[in-house]
Structure 1
């Protein structure tokens, strides 16, 4: 007899099926193989004690600070640990409990019913001369050629913007932005490139967004995350998707001492508010994409926390986008010029996909296509 310890099994049902497990037992066993962790903030002391006992009774665990049993404080932060099966049981069991546990059960159910989306690559093209990575700058005919190359390399989405959003970037008038983007939009429309890929307009200026949508674009990438009513109306009018990004401050000021009590919780609350506004106006969650805004009003610590907790944002039922391509957070880990940050970019993006992101916004499409293919092979 030989025995060896298995590494992480990503596709648990496929592994059990390959082993020859009876079909009826595969889904049951797969749930027992998936360990889940939930950080619960400000749980009422009585609720913490109830949840602790309920978790232990089914073989799960609730990590709590000392003093919880005595209710020394009114609320406590806790970590709930259990298999997917355990969480399913608790999400039903706590519906009958007081002290806010019914609401907790509802939140747990959302995480259990998260949608799964295929991984897609979004290529970046900047129709301006001051974006932080020189290799992404293209104009008119050159931009169209680059679009075609990115599509051939494996991009199913092309994101085009005419205004730099790098830290400290100067504001550009709507008229100038439209003048920069028009030739590219016209070429995409005339050559019907929108039939080959989904085109995204990286803008929050209504006139620019509308011109792009009329030219065949199908996604609005709004870095302000404001969910402006005019932008939502345009998304509805043209049946387009809307990407909502979180940013603290503006590009001019966003990196001047960004501060959060809990970055994951605060970004999550931001998305919850914006999604509610979009839905109230008629936009469905299938049309909404969420971007945590790596580098937009965040320190290195904030960026890393969001990447590690990327899976949290999947519970909204929207696609989640990651955009850390060649960003300065890499240089803060190990000093590296922008042109040499591809290795760090690939690591960040692969980890984000592993943690739930489904759209990868990047400058280097072919390299990401290869890396994602290898990652997928390791999963199977």
Structure 2
């Protein structure tokens, strides 16, 4: 009977002697939820966790794209698209894109994620040449002004290649490196770190009745398999970031279950990215129809993720998220950074 181990993350300043560091960061745990597909879960002392699983839960994460993974990093979203779900068209113009990038970096973004193809529910695929035309010049312009890391949000090897040549240093694939068979080998050959995300189905159909046997464990197994496949191509595990894919082929209940179980994914031994910013479920629960007005709910979810030890937050509202994170850290961890 396969077991999965979810550390019960804590941040209280009163820390027992038996406490263990969560992924080498500021949070700790002394209790683990042992989870099964075919039996009830149970809480066990952390010391009773198998050594291999415990090593992955506690080991410090290596830097990714030069970023310190012992604390939460802010990934600012730059959509150079006419049709993204919350900011489509706002930064489609290269001048506007560069100005927005400057604003996000000034507000505290430590990495910029550039995407030229909307992956909102129902979105259609963008031709490769058009996606390159949208992203590569903007990446080159950003790189000409700053050394802040840039990631390319794409499913396609030619787009990633053009982005890397323009200055991108991480590939973020919402399709988990399954859409284009040439993308993962390119990342391996170029020595680039990657972010592998889970999505059930393509954007065109992903929200049409998504189903899981056990959403948390199904996605954990999927990401574990993708990590092994990427590692077999030569991409080091410590250079793979995992993203459970909130909102990508998930119902509201699926999203909430994943948020409750985020710390489970530390068992993969990789940094964890949370990308929930302005998603529809936030609007549904918060009673906010327009995506651009969902900053408060997005920040609440982001902080809930940091409280479970996620190492990267992919957000639209950089300034507001950085401010909230700084205050949360000061109030709970006794430090502002």
Same fold (TM over 0.5): yes
1:64-103 correspondence to structure 2 within 5 Å: 77-82=39-44, 86-88=45-47, 90-91=48-49
Question: Match for residue 183 of structure 1?
Answer: 137
- The C-alpha deviation readout for 1:108-128, integer Å capped at 9, x for no partner, is 554354646321000011111
- The C-alpha deviation readout for 1:303-348, integer Å capped at 9, x for no partner, is 0111111101012121111111111001221331212211110101
Distance, in Å, in 1 between the alignment partners of 2:40 and 2:56 is: 19
Question: Match for residue 24 of structure 2?
Answer: none
Distance, in Å, in 2 between the alignment partners of 1:331 and 1:296 is: 15
Question: Match for residue 360 of structure 1?
Answer: 313
Q: How far did 1:229 drift?
A: 4.7
Asked if residue 198 in structure 1 is aligned to residue 149 in structure 2, the reply is yes
Moved more, 223-232 or 257-266: 223-232
Distance, in Å, in 2 between the alignment partners of 1:327 and 1:287 is: 27
1:1-380 correspondence to structure 2 within 5 Å: 10=11, 12=13, 15=14, 28-30=17-19, 34-42=29-37, 77-82=39-44, 86-88=45-47, 90-91=48-49, 106-113=52-59, 115=61, 117-134=70-87, 137-189=91-143, 191-193=144-146, 195=147, 197-227=148-178, 229-336=181-288, 337-378=290-331, 379-380=333-334
Tell me which structure has the larger Cα radius of gyration: 1
Which structure would you say has the larger RCO, counting Cα contacts within 8 Å and 6 or more residues apart? 2
SS in structure 2 of the partner of residue 151 of structure 1: helix
Structure 2 unmatched runs, 5+ = 1-8, 21-27, 62-68
Decide whether aligned partners of structure 1 residues 112 and 127 sit closer, same or farther in structure 2, where only a CA change above 3 A counts. Answer: closer
- The C-alpha deviation readout for 1:114-162, integer Å capped at 9, x for no partner, is 6463210000111111011127533212211211111111001100111
Kept after mapping to 1: 8 A contact 2:33/2:41: yes
Decide whether aligned partners of structure 1 residues 40 and 163 sit closer, same or farther in structure 2, where only a CA change above 3 A counts. Answer: same
SS in structure 2 of the partner of residue 160 of structure 1: strand
Distance, in Å, in 2 between the alignment partners of 1:111 and 1:334 is: 33
SS in structure 2 of the partner of residue 184 of structure 1: helix
Structure 1 unmatched runs, 5+ = 1-7, 17-25, 43-75, 92-103
Distance, in Å, in 2 between the alignment partners of 1:243 and 1:148 is: 23
SS in structure 1 of the partner of residue 272 of structure 2: strand
Count of aligned residue pairs for this structure pair = 309
Distance, in Å, in 2 between the alignment partners of 1:333 and 1:295 is: 14
Kept after mapping to 2: 8 A contact 1:223/1:247: yes
Decide whether aligned partners of structure 1 residues 231 and 151 sit closer, same or farther in structure 2, where only a CA change above 3 A counts. Answer: same
CA RMSD of aligned residues (A): 2.3
Distance, in Å, in 1 between the alignment partners of 2:127 and 2:181 is: 20
